[in-house]
Amino acid sequence: MNHLKLIVKNFNSLVERRSYFFNKSELKIILSFYSRMVSKGFWKDYGLNISKEEVSFNVYRRTSENPEFRICKNFRQKNNNLKYFTSDSQGNILNMSKNLERLLNNTKWKNLKLVN
């Protein structure tokens, strides 16, 4: 008797697996911008926050504080302009764009300061 195989179509494996992170070119743009801001003395530390809705690059003035700014990539956008956005420590959206490099260049980082 021949060996019989049961084949079940698993729809979870057929669905394209999405990468929930920045791709290499996006990360290169963010890290080069971050290094410029560190060399100027504005930023001291960073962290990453990853979820299925968005991934964010959090920027800290000091390690023990809340993030001063967040550079986010939204995976479930309702608006096409909301793919990349920057937000402050309170969660207010400062700027949004479809292009990450344009977003980082158009945001006026020097004028933004944390007010106690």
Structural tokens at position 114: 């944390």
**Residue 44's CB: how many other CB atoms inside 10 A?**
14
Residue 112 has pLDDT above 80, yes or no: no
When pLDDT is cut at 50, 70 and 90, the band that residue 12 belongs to is low
∠ at Cα 22 (17, 24), nearest 5°?
A: 100
pLDDT digits (tens, 9 = 90+) for 14-53: 445 566 788 899 999 999 999 998 998 888 899 999 888 8
Q: Is 13 buried (19+), middle (13-18) or exposed (0-12) by CB count in 10 A?
A: exposed
Residue 63 has pLDDT above 80, yes or no: no
pLDDT digits (tens, 9 = 90+) for 72-105: 998 877 766 678 999 888 888 888 888 899 988 8
Q: CA 11: distance to chain centroid? A: 29
Residue 30: the pLDDT is 94
